[in-house]
Structure 1
Amino acid sequence: MIIQPSAMASMNNYVFSAYKLLPTKPISSSPLFPLSSSKLFTQSRNSHRLIKSIAEDREVVTEKITVSNLKQDEQTEIGSEGGDKEFVAGNGSEEIDKFMGKAINASIVLGVGTFAVTRLLTIDHEYWHGWTFYEILRYAPEHNWFAYEEALKENPVFAKMVISGVVYSLGDWIAQCFEGKPLFEFDRSRLFRSGLVGFTLHGSLSHFYYQFCEALIPWKDWWVVPAKIAFDQTVWSAIWNSIYFVVLGLLRFESPTNISNELKATFVPMLTAGWKLWPFAHLITYGVVPVEQRLLWVDCVELVWVTILSTYSNEKSEARISDISEE
C-alpha cells in the first residue's frame, strides 16, 4: 500500500498532539548521598572544628600536666639538694669539730708529755754542765727518786695526791683506747673527772689508810700479810669502789637514784674482779714495800685497775643513757 504524503503529514500531527495531551511529571533522580554538597561541607567543617578543639584541649591539659610535673621535679630536686647541702654542711661541721677535738687532745698530750720528760731529764740542770747524754740518762732516774723521797718528807699528802691524779688520768686514757677510741679522740671531760677523783680523794685517803692499817695490825708475824690483804680486799676495796662510783656519778650530774642503781649493779662484780688482781700485788705491798712508798707501788698497779674501774663505770652510764634515749 502506498501512503500519500498528505496522509503522512496528518499522522505526524496526530501523534504530536497526542503526546502533548499526556500528563507530564518531572523526573527527579535520587542522589547517591542523602545530604547535599553544602550540608556535607558544613558538617565536615564542624567535625573538623570539633576535632581541632579536642586536640587543643588535650594539648592544654598535657602542657598543664607537664608543667606541674616539672615544678614537682624542681621542688623535689631543690629539696634533695637542700637536704644534701644540709647533710654535707652537717658532715662538714662534724668533721671540723672532730678535727678541733683531735688538735686539742694532741696539744694536751704533747704538752703534758713534754713537761714531764723535761722535768725528769733536767733534775740535775744546776750542775750537769759538761755531762754527756749518757751520764744524764744514767743519773736522772736515781736523782728523781731522791727528789721524790724529799717531797714525801716535806709534804707527803700532796706528793701522793699528784701521783694518784696522774695515774688515774693515764688509766682512764688507757681505758678509752682499750674501748676502741683513737689515740687523740679521747673524752677530755671523762679523763678530767677520773684524774680529779684520783688527785683529790685516792692520794689523800690512801695515805691515811695505809697508816691506819699498820696501826690496826702492828704485828710482824707471818699471818700479818694475809690478814692485811684480806682486810684490804674486803673493807677498803668496798669503801673505795663505792666512793669512786658515787663521785664520778656526781661529777656527771646524775641523779642519786641512778648513782645508787649503778652502784648496786657494779658493787659485787667489781669486788670479785679485784680479787683476781690485788692479792698477788699486795704480797709485795704489805710484804716488801715500806709504808711511805706503798702508794707509789699501788699506783703503778692501779694503771691496770683504773682501766677496769673506768670501763665499768662508763659502760653502765652509757648503757643507761642509751636505754633512756630508746624509751
Structure 2
Amino acid sequence: MKINFSQRISVRQAMHTVFIALLLVIILSAIQIINDFKKEKNHINSMIAQVIGMFEEQAALSAYSLSESMANNLISGLFKYKSFSKVELANDLGVTLSQKERTPTPGKFKWLMTKLTGKLDYSFTLHYKDVENPVGFLNVTVDGYLLSQNFIDRSLMVLSSSIIQNILLAFFLTLIFYKSLTLPLLKMIGNLLAINIDKPAEKLIDIPKIHTHDELGLLAKTTNELLHRLDENLSIRRSAEKKLAEQNEELIKLDKLKDEFLANTSHELRTPLNGIIGIAESLIAGATGGLSDETNLNLSMIASSGKRLLCLVNDILDLSSLKNKKLNLQKEPI
C-alpha cells in the first residue's frame, strides 16, 4: 500500500511544526513591527521638531518683517529636506508670505502608510523676541511614505526572512523526520511483509540502532516478542494436530479391527446357534420320542434364548454392514 507524500508522518509533523512556528513568527513580527512603527513615528516627530527649530528664528523674523524674499529663502531652505512635501509661511493674519509644494513620493505601500500614519501636517506658531502675540505660522506637510521607507524596508525584510526561515525549517524538519521516523517505519513495514506466516519467528524485525531505547525500538521489540509467542503457539498447535491425527488413525484401525472381529465372530456364532435352536425344536417336536414336561420346558427355554441370541448376532451384523455401507434392505409385510 503506497502512502501519499502529504500523508506521511514526517511531512505532517513538519507541516504542523512549521505552521505553529510561522504563527508564532507572525505574531512576534507583528509585535516587533508595531513597536518599530511607534519608534519610527516618534523619530519623525522629533526630526521635524529639530529641523523646524533650526529655521524657527528666521521664519519668525520673516513673518514679523513681512518680507517675501526672506520667506522665499526660508521655504527654499526647508524644501532641501526631501521629506517635506509642502511648506507654507503665513503672518499672524493668515496671509501667505511664501509657499512651496511638490508631488508626494509614489509607492506600492503608500496607501498602507497613509492609513497608519494619517496626514502628517504640522503647524508651528512663530514668536519674535518681546512681541507678546504670535507673528505668524509655519505650516509643514511631511511625506510620511518617504520618511517611513526605511521602516517599510525593515518590515519587509523581517517578514521575508521569517518566511524564508520557515521554508528552510520545513525542508530540514521534513528531511530529519523522514530519516529518523518515516524511513525506520518503512523498513519495519517491509520486515513485517517479509514474515513467513508458517514460521513467524524465522525472520524478526530489525531494530534501528538510533531507536533502540525510544518508542520505535519498543514497538519493534514488542512485535518481535509477539512473533515469538505466535511461533510457539503455532508449534504447539501443529504438535497437537499431529498427535490428534495419529490418534485418529489409530482409532480408525482399531475400529476396523473391531468390525472385522464382530463380523467374524457373528458368522462363527450364527452356525452353532442355528444348530442348537434346530436340535432343541426337533426334540420338542418329538424327534426322539416323548419327553417329560420339565425337559420340554428346558428345551423351550434353550430354543427361546438361542433365538434371542441369534437376533442380537444378526443386529450386530446389520450394524457392521450399515457402517461399511453393505446393508441390503428387504421388504417385509407390517
- Please confirm whether the aligned pair reaches a TM-score higher than 0.5, indicating the same fold: no
Q: Which has the higher helix share?
A: 1
What TM-score results when the alignment is normalised by the length of structure 1?
Answer: 0.28
Task: Mark the structure with the bigger radius of gyration.
Answer: 2
What TM-score results when the alignment is normalised by the length of structure 2?
Answer: 0.28
Which structure's relative contact order is higher, taking Cα pairs within 8 Å and 6+ residues apart?
1
